[in-house]
Amino acid sequence: MVTGSHEAIPDVLADRYASSGMQEIWSPQAKVLLEREFWIAVMRAQRELGLDIPLEAIQAYEDVKNRVDLASIRARERLTRHDVKARIDEFCALAGQQHIHKGLTSRDLTENVEQLQILRSLRLLRLKYAACLYRLSGRVAEYRRLAITGRTHNVPAQMTTLGKRLAMFGTEMIFAYRSLEDLLARYPLRGLKGSVGTQLDLLTLFGGDTAKVDALESRVADQLGFREVLGAVGQVYPRSLDMQVLGALCQLGSGPSSFAKTLRLMAGLDLATEGFREGQVGSSAMPHKVNSRSCERINGFQVVLGGYLHMAGALAGDQWSEGDVSCSVVRRVALPGGMFAADGMFETFLAVLVEMEIFPAIIDAERDRLLPFLATTTVLMEAVKRGAGRESAHAAIKEHALAAARALRGGQSRSDDLMTRLAGDPRIGLSSAELASLLAADERFVGAALVQADAFVAEVAGIVRDQPEAAKLAPGEVL
Amino acid sequence: MVTGSHEAIPDVLADRYASSGMQEIWSPQAKVLLEREFWIAVMRAQRELGLDIPLEAIQAYEDVKNRVDLASIRARERLTRHDVKARIDEFCALAGQQHIHKGLTSRDLTENVEQLQILRSLRLLRLKYAACLYRLSGRVAEYRRLAITGRTHNVPAQMTTLGKRLAMFGTEMIFAYRSLEDLLARYPLRGLKGSVGTQLDLLTLFGGDTAKVDALESRVADQLGFREVLGAVGQVYPRSLDMQVLGALCQLGSGPSSFAKTLRLMAGLDLATEGFREGQVGSSAMPHKVNSRSCERINGFQVVLGGYLHMAGALAGDQWSEGDVSCSVVRRVALPGGMFAADGMFETFLAVLVEMEIFPAIIDAERDRLLPFLATTTVLMEAVKRGAGRESAHAAIKEHALAAARALRGGQSRSDDLMTRLAGDPRIGLSSAELASLLAADERFVGAALVQADAFVAEVAGIVRDQPEAAKLAPGEVL
Amino acid sequence: MVTGSHEAIPDVLADRYASSGMQEIWSPQAKVLLEREFWIAVMRAQRELGLDIPLEAIQAYEDVKNRVDLASIRARERLTRHDVKARIDEFCALAGQQHIHKGLTSRDLTENVEQLQILRSLRLLRLKYAACLYRLSGRVAEYRRLAITGRTHNVPAQMTTLGKRLAMFGTEMIFAYRSLEDLLARYPLRGLKGSVGTQLDLLTLFGGDTAKVDALESRVADQLGFREVLGAVGQVYPRSLDMQVLGALCQLGSGPSSFAKTLRLMAGLDLATEGFREGQVGSSAMPHKVNSRSCERINGFQVVLGGYLHMAGALAGDQWSEGDVSCSVVRRVALPGGMFAADGMFETFLAVLVEMEIFPAIIDAERDRLLPFLATTTVLMEAVKRGAGRESAHAAIKEHALAAARALRGGQSRSDDLMTRLAGDPRIGLSSAELASLLAADERFVGAALVQADAFVAEVAGIVRDQPEAAKLAPGEVL
Amino acid sequence: MVTGSHEAIPDVLADRYASSGMQEIWSPQAKVLLEREFWIAVMRAQRELGLDIPLEAIQAYEDVKNRVDLASIRARERLTRHDVKARIDEFCALAGQQHIHKGLTSRDLTENVEQLQILRSLRLLRLKYAACLYRLSGRVAEYRRLAITGRTHNVPAQMTTLGKRLAMFGTEMIFAYRSLEDLLARYPLRGLKGSVGTQLDLLTLFGGDTAKVDALESRVADQLGFREVLGAVGQVYPRSLDMQVLGALCQLGSGPSSFAKTLRLMAGLDLATEGFREGQVGSSAMPHKVNSRSCERINGFQVVLGGYLHMAGALAGDQWSEGDVSCSVVRRVALPGGMFAADGMFETFLAVLVEMEIFPAIIDAERDRLLPFLATTTVLMEAVKRGAGRESAHAAIKEHALAAARALRGGQSRSDDLMTRLAGDPRIGLSSAELASLLAADERFVGAALVQADAFVAEVAGIVRDQPEAAKLAPGEVL
């Protein structure tokens, strides 16, 4: 028997990857406290609006609200088989009162508190994502001029700069960031709606006074920090909201994930590594290895987010009449799971942005070796400008490029052999000297790369101006 | 051998379910034409910006652009194994010219044209969705007062009205509609960016004149109807855009899908049917059946959309360096598939909204039978107002309600037995007369249902004011 | 600040739903111990096959293997950023030796140990599933004769028996059970293959002696309980194995999930409940409610399993060369998650099978009310046997059935009105007396239902003969 | 307006990628014919078992069965809104008879015919997969000895051979192939079960004679080629069967997909291409490019299959009582879609296996450059054999390897620098001469690669012995 084997199995995403800030939002203890504060807020507002709830009763609840004993609550749940009833009973027993949850149904409590957890999580992620953009823009500025072999279909295509490549991932991130802002601006609270959404019990409590019930709902929404409250709902808020939230996380993850995949490819060409901390071990067997473990993890998180989106998606459009909780276990898994995974992804991404190493000497060597091939579109354009037919010149260049590549792959020639071949072909109509001067104009081969990189840096600066804390956020310690 | 067996296998979603408007956007012929118009637009702009392209050449392309011969293009593709090159060759051969596609790479053509298809599809769906909201609001108004047994967990909970129930699904729809509007307002074009996103070849064509290249891109974007153009991209636009588009379709589908599921449940209780057209056959074996086939289909479409979101989601975050086309077959399937499925869903939903039948006599009978049970929360509230402890009254009511239900289920009593039991219990403290007068106040049991229904109708009116065509759209013929 | 807020966030599936048996397999402590036993087994076999490893060294490891200090291991991992190296260092430091992991790479350890966890989990689930089949067959036997309104498209179709309905879900389960047995019979171990699958380091250790390396691998596989070992693998075993395992769980879940959905529907018609334990609370607001919370949970688990299948599926076909660990975080989440969810589902299903309540009085009343409609296909068959054309009789019956239904729904008639209508129609050719005697032959309307129910019970008896413990397994306590 | 724009939109997977054999199984015309043959077979058997069906009537159906007019059927469906009823009416009108479909419900027809399509598709895919294995084994044999740099985490790890690498993907394929065989051996027919699965109408037709109904079902199953028939089912067969079928396709796709991903990576290092046919165009802009378009397509198909599995998975566990057809549109999309995608994937894979090019000169150069690093684990093993502590030697080697790599990346040294560094370190204890002789023993670095490659070739030979046609199958023409 193992020492300590009776401990609970920890949530692996929370435990290994998520920040303490995100853990705070979703810990079972924190949730119990959040619920109690919600109940107290409702009681206070109910009292202010005329219900007969003694101040001493409210104080009695206040006095015990921090005494969160999960084991005791669990024991009650075993009896009642109803989780909210168990938490009501526990809180009332501690306080020696029966004044909470008046006119409410379970979902008036849990839906609103969960939406609060979601809202806070999204705000935390927004900040962290802005921090990622900030660090990324630093790298873009650093490498704005470093010419590198651009690749499509994983083979050399044309030249670009490393700064522009990084800005490309950043451009996707900015779009996702703006989508998150749209969502945050509109994310609505379910509100206090009762069992089937008609507010019947609250209306009964307030003698049918609609204005008072509206006032109660507004006060609670304000206090939770929501600007919008849904109108006609049932027992639950529409589950497509959860799907949209998880979808937003997947969208946020897309740019970092493509970045990570590309860095893994660059590591395979020895152009870069994600960095290697003092003491780190690459492989227990192969001591020389520098594995892209953090980048692989980023890609893994994207898959995990996809799985949680799958779960949330299966609940959207599956509401029966005024509602049900076939969603209960699903949301217990997918909502915190998605938040932990996104949080872990951005933490990891931040760390990679800080620690990654670029090897300009290798990048230069690759580019010089491939330059004659990368320049073929420029040759094509120049030939067309001088009157060659586009399609015949294309055919001629392709013929020579393939022959040159074939010779290279057979180990029979060097890459500059291609220019010699092109110079001799009348279909193209460019002399050896003209071709040589084309190749020498190295800077122009990166086209608008610098302009784009700089525009990206400027746009991120605007985002950071709005969220100055983003510039200060450092990566936490990554396992 | 079957007659006609050599016909192509049709796309089942386009063929059986999608409207002709949506088919127009995605037919292979329409796409070829769209591409040719794109090429001509680029040529015109290039000529205006100074490139040496003869007017007669442009005219030659204009003259043949409608001659779309898919078989000939296919034969060319078999040779080149490159679909865009095949379409370039075909168009040039028809026109006897070599002036299109200058400074462009394949993706400058296909990405932008596909984004145009997406944009037009989303606009069509927005209109159709507004039409669904319009028809739904008509039903909400019609049934705003019809009291019906509200159900949670599929069992009777409290009373609501049918109009409010329908408004509940509509509230989810409005939120999804607003999200689509956000997306449409921001959906950006990739633009003319070249092979690796640096605009190298266009810059070469224009002698390095960045302003001219920018002008060219802007003119093309304007003409396609896009307000935003992405900055730093690679060969392709970020694939998370496709995921967001498919995610938006799933979100739009959620409200109609929950409506459909609920109508299937109501049909099981004989409270409603989705309607039954003259001549329709419910079952080839059981002639009396009225199956909810259209509602089931709506639910099926939601599943299909989920599958396409899965596909699009797998491409997001999987870009290698400046891009690749591992996405090609996936997008050929998922993008039109998603649009056809959403279109088919909304067409079907419209038809159900028009044709569905409600049976008030059955609804009334169910409600009357269940009223004593539905009123228990009101009894609880009244008891609490008169000084009973909430938890002890709850326990007492539960005891009696379960006993009454048990007797009913054993066939031994009638439902009004419950009120007799409650009247006798001092823990509750309400007399038989007080209870009877509670039950008689039938109207109040629906709480704020009417207020919510009316608010929904008003909000939809605002949407239709902005899109007046939505009010005129009638459902097409549903298979 | 909350009391106890520094505890780790527990895995919600393990903590709330999974059995202690399943938790034992996947707890972090148990895994460390499993790895240490694996290392010791390899050392012993290496020593027996001639390597110079002192017996005292092995004993030193044995002596400390139970001292599992997760915090200390975690501290080491923070330094090395390599989880396996951290666990090697910890074990060696405890033992004061450096003899484990010789000739192995990390994956020789982790892949094999994880496969062992998977194998043990699948065996546990097989037993539990057999127990579900056993309990289900008891219910089938109990209700084999209870005639009930069969429904398709959720509306009354023909009569069946409740026993046969339950056997229907059981038939799907048996097929899934057989698929699991196929998988268990063939599930192969990766084996000791080294960094890239060539066994290089073990061959080096054993001086190139292939036979010794094979013997070492076989001994370890035997000891772990595997019959098959994969041949040519890379660093990892093929990830489609994980997908197949998760797929098997989804398949196992399908029958219970359809059962649960159907019981939720039956509860909506008041024909059954999933049971209600002493003290249980249905709703914190509506004391009379008996919610199908366990059945909803079963449906929720099916969605959760689908999400984990999504994750595992994304890894299949994504291996780069000899392997990578972009899968690492994904498998940490999806493998235990899937096992906990399946375990929780079967536990919940067992409980429902034991506790569910059936209300024959209500079932009888529904059946009697609908009998004239349910009998229409029999009327059709009898008409055809007496010479009526199938399609004309079908049209006639449909006409009357719809008219009768319309009258009923308007509250204007009783259901026996249909038989009167049919008797008068010459297209059908059956007299009132003939129709009455048809309806009276109540027993025959269930067709082969009893035969099928009994065949199912017999087949389950065979399964339980092979796994006698299945008959003894009682449901654990469900939250 | 475009010429020919009124043609139906073709199914893109069928049209562009699937073989004609697979198209034959799923074309709408073929399905109508299949259904008619099914009806005729049932009539014949019914007549033989005593029903009064005139031979001339059967002949009348036979005479017209090939007259498949989809437009006429579609017109009928518009009226009846019931697809099967439309096909019954059409067939009866053509034959001038009313004898088909006696005692059957729609699903007795469609479920069984669809299962037949599935079975035939799986058999076709099995053959094609065996052909892929056969071609792959040819490549394994060809390259069994070609030493290549093995990679894990995409960075050089140890040496392997190309033949063994290919066998690695093949090993996964063989496991998937065996799983498919398990499934094919057990795949069961729903059978003739009637509306709710009780066979009521057939029993009525045969005067309650269970033996005759069983005989009828058996004859039909035999004729369709099924060995097993399900017992207790409802209106439909369990939808988890579809999920298992789609899951099997994903599993089959995993090996080819990992192969394709690896070939794309190898192309990025210029070690291989997937081949380039005469006339093929790599890029419309960059004439020299050889893109891995077929390999990318294979990866794309795997994603598409995942989407269809998602759809099928959502139906499993969602059966309501005796059944419904919320699955209808889903299965219309996912079943043929999955079969076309798998078929297209294996066709593409076959073509790549035939056409791919390997560049040994580049492979040799890469390996020689990296050899000192690849040999570090061997150095470690030798050091340990000579008495060094495993962990201290590991630390020493890592120190030198990282330093050597750093120097290389800075452009300051050559790769053989590493051996010089190692020779000087007493913690390792190997002289310069010992190290040199280690490196020279080049052959041994591939470990058991050849053994594994040969074992794979032998296993495939056994499969092809069972399916000799697999050896003859050539790839169709790939777009």
Under DSSP, the state recorded for A9 is P
CA distance C5 to chain D (A): 38
> In 3D, which of A120, A122, A128 has the Cα closest to residue A173?
A128
CA distance D404 to B438: 88
CB-based contact, B163 to chain A, within 8 Å: no
Q: How many contacts, defined by CB atoms under 8 Å, are there between B and C?
A: 132
Distance from CA of C163 to the nearest CA of B (A): 20
Query: DSSP secondary structure string, B345-377?
Result: HHHHHHHHHHH-EE-HHHHHHHHHHHHHHHTHH
Cβ within 8 Å, pair B444-A318: no
**Predicted pLDDT at B403:** 85
Q: What is the mean pLDDT of residues B237-250?
A: 97
pLDDT attached to residue C124: 97
Chain B residues near residue D282 by CB distance under 8 angstroms: 82
User: Is residue A307 pLDDT above 70, yes or no?
Assistant: yes
pLDDT at A237: 96
Contact: C78, A330; criterion CB under 8 Å: no
Residue D6: is its pLDDT beyond 60? Answer: no
pLDDT band at A475 (very low <50, low <70, confident <90, very high): confident
D123 touching chain B per CB within 8 A: no
* Contact criterion met (CB below 8 Å) for D126 and D251: no
- Indicate the residue type of A472: K
pLDDT at B83: 85
First-to-last alpha carbon distance for chain B, in angstroms, is: 28
Q: Average pLDDT, stretch B48-70?
A: 95
**Could you say which DSSP state residue C329 is in?**
H
pLDDT of residue C284: 53
For the segment D289-295, the average pLDDT, to the nearest whole number, is 87
Give A372 to chain C, closest Cα distance, Å.
29
pLDDT average, residue stretch A322-335: 88
pLDDT the model gives residue A4: 41
pLDDT at A123 over 70: yes
Average pLDDT over residues B294-316: 97
Residues of C with Cβ-Cβ distance to A307 under 8 angstroms? 307-308, 310-311, 314, 333-334
- pLDDT given at position D2: 42
Give the model confidence (pLDDT) of D150-163 as tens digits.
999 999 999 999 99
Instruction: Specify whether the backbone of A267 is left (phi greater than 0), alpha (psi in -120 to 50) or beta.
Output: alpha
- State yes or no: pLDDT of A259 exceeds 80: yes
B437 contacts B379 by C-beta, under 8 angstroms: no
- Cβ contacts (< 8 Å) between C291 and chain B: which residues? 152-153, 155
| Identity of the highest mean pLDDT range in A398-402, A416-420, B197-201 | B197-201
Residue D88: pLDDT above 80? yes
pTM score, whole prediction: 0.95
Question: What is the average pLDDT across B270-288?
Answer: 70
Average of per-residue pLDDT across B79-105: 91
**pLDDT band for position D3 (50/70/90)?**
very low
Whether B320 has its CB under 8 Å from any CB of chain A: the answer is yes
Contact C320 D262 (CB under 8 A): yes
- How does residue C239 score in pLDDT terms, banded at 50, 70 and 90? very high
Got the DSSP string for A214-246?
A: HHHHHHHHHHHT-SEE-SS--SS--THHHHHHH
- The reported pLDDT for the residue numbered D327 is 74
Compute the mean pLDDT over every residue in chain C, rounded to the nearest whole number. 91
**Among residues D391, D257, B204, B73, which one has the least CA distance to residue C89?**
D391
pLDDT 10s digits, D107-135: 999 999 999 999 999 999 999 999 999 99
Considering CB atoms only, which of A268, A314, A365 is closest to D155? Answer: A268
Q: What is the pLDDT of residue C282?
A: 57
Please state, for a pLDDT cut of 70, what percent of chain D lies above it: 94
A 164-223 → B contacts, CB under 8 A? 164-165, 167-168, 170-172, 175-176, 178-179, 182-183, 186, 188, 194-201, 203-205, 208, 210, 213
The residue assigned the tokens 């409207």 is B19
Tell me: pLDDT of B394 over 90: no
pLDDT in tens, B148-172: 999 999 999 999 999 999 999 999 9
CA distances from B13 to B251, B305, D35, D80, D361 (A): 19, 11, 22, 20, 51
Phi, psi dihedral angles at A277 (to 5 degrees): -80, 155
- Comparing CA positions, the residue from D361, D391, D373, D366 lying closest to residue D439 is D373
Mean pLDDT of B433-445: 81
Residue D99, SS3 per DSSP = coil
**Can you tell me the ipTM of this complex?**
0.93
In this predicted model, which residue has the larger pLDDT, B99 or D8?
Answer: B99
Closest approach of B213 to chain D, Cα-based (Å): 17
- In C, which residues are within 8 Å of D238 by CB distance? 171-172, 175, 254-255, 258
Residues 6+ apart with CB under 8 A from A412: none
Q: What is the pLDDT of residue B5?
A: 42
Average pLDDT over chain B, rounded to an integer? 91
User: Taking residues C270-281, what's their average pLDDT?
Assistant: 77
Average pLDDT score over chain D? 91
CA distance to partner chain C, nearest, from residue B363 (Å)? 9
The verdict on a CB contact (< 8 Å) between B80 and D296 is no
Does residue A376 sit at the D interface (CB-CB below 8 Å)? Answer: yes
| Alpha-carbon gap: D475 to the closest alpha carbon of chain C (Å) | 21
Q: Which of A229-243, A246-260, A285-299, B291-305 shows the lowest per-residue confidence on average (mean pLDDT)?
A: A285-299
Does residue D358 carry a pLDDT above 70?
yes
Contact by Cβ (8 Å): B285, A281? no
N-terminal to C-terminal alpha carbon distance within chain D: 28
**D333 contact B CB<8A:** yes
CB contact under 8 A, A361 and D290: no
Q: Which residues of B219-237 are buried (b: 16+ CB within 10 A; e: fewer)?
A: bbbeebebeebbbbbbbbb
Output phi, psi for C261, to 5 deg: -65, -40
Task: Please say if the pLDDT value at position D5 is more than 60.
Answer: no
Secondary structure element (H or E) that encloses residue A188, with its range = strand A188-189
User: Which carries the bigger pLDDT value, residue A182 or residue C6?
Assistant: A182
User: Is the pLDDT at D292 greater than 70, yes or no?
Assistant: yes
pLDDT at residue D4 in the model: 41
Measured between alpha carbons, how far is D116 from D268 in angstroms, rounded to an integer? 44
How buried is B338 (Cβ within 10 angstroms: 0-12 exposed, 13-18 middle, 19+ buried)? buried
Given this model, what pLDDT does residue C444 score? 84
What is d(CA D352, CA D262) in angstroms, rounded to the nearest whole number?
A: 13
Using one digit for the tens of pLDDT, what is the confidence trace for C392-420? 888 888 888 888 888 888 877 666 688 88
Instruction: Give A147-187 pLDDT, tens digit per residue.
Output: 999 999 999 999 999 999 999 999 999 999 999 999 999 99
D281 close to B (CB below 8 A): yes
Q: What is the pLDDT of residue A418?
A: 86
A26 close to A117: Cβ distance less than 8 angstroms? yes
Q: Which residue is listed with tokens 């605007």?
A: A462
Q: What is the pLDDT of residue D240?
A: 96
Q: List CB contacts (< 8 A) between B321 and chain A.
A: 150-152, 154, 165, 262, 265
> Does residue C3 register a pLDDT over 50?
no
Contacts of A306 in chain B (CB under 8 A): 310, 313-314
Token pair belonging to D351: 């073509």
pLDDT > 90 in chain D, percent: 70
Q: Give me A355's structure tokens.
A: 């620690």
Residues 343-362 of B with CB under 8 A from C: 359, 361-362
Strand duo C147-152 + C155-161: pairing? antiparallel
3-class DSSP assignment, residue C229: strand
Q: State how far residue B321 is from chain C, nearest Cα, in angstroms.
A: 16
Q: Do A3 and C195 touch (CB under 8 A)?
A: no
Residue A58, pLDDT > 60, answer yes
- What type of residue sits at position D138? G
Q: What is the pLDDT of residue B282?
A: 56
pLDDT at B277 over 80: no
pLDDT recorded at residue B1:
36
CB distance B3–D68 less than 8 Å? yes
H helix intervals, A269-389: 293-315, 328-355, 360-374, 376-385
- Cβ separation of A311 and C307 shorter than 8 Å? yes
H or E, element range at B269: none
Q: Average of pLDDT values for C28-50? A: 94
At B389, the pLDDT band (50, 70, 90 cuts) reads: confident
Instruction: Express each pLDDT in B466-477 by its tens digit.
Output: 999 999 998 875
Q: D25 is written with which tokens? A: 């199984």
User: Residue D450: is its pLDDT beyond 70?
Assistant: yes
**Residues C194, C103: contact at Cβ < 8 Å?**
yes
Tell me the pairing of strands A357-358 and A272-273. antiparallel
Percent of the residues in chain A that have a pLDDT greater than 70, as a whole number: 94
- Residue in chain C closest to B376 (alpha carbons) equals C286
Q: Is A2 on the interface with B (CB under 8 A)?
A: no
- Among A249-263, A296-310, C190-204, which stretch is predicted with the lowest mean pLDDT? C190-204
The reply to whether residue A314 touches residue B320, judged by beta carbons under 8 angstroms, is no
Residues 402-431 (D) with a CB less than 8 A from some CB of B: none
Which residues lie across from D152 on neighbouring strands? D155
Going by C-alpha positions, the residue among D300, D302, D297, D292 that lies closest to residue D263 is: D292
* Whole-number pLDDT of residue A308: 98
pLDDT at D474 over 90: no
> What is the pLDDT, as a whole number, of residue C333?
97
The whole-number average pLDDT for the span D203-224 is 92
pLDDT digits (tens, 9 = 90+) for C63-110: 999 999 999 999 998 887 788 989 999 999 999 999 999 989 889 999
pLDDT, position A410: 84
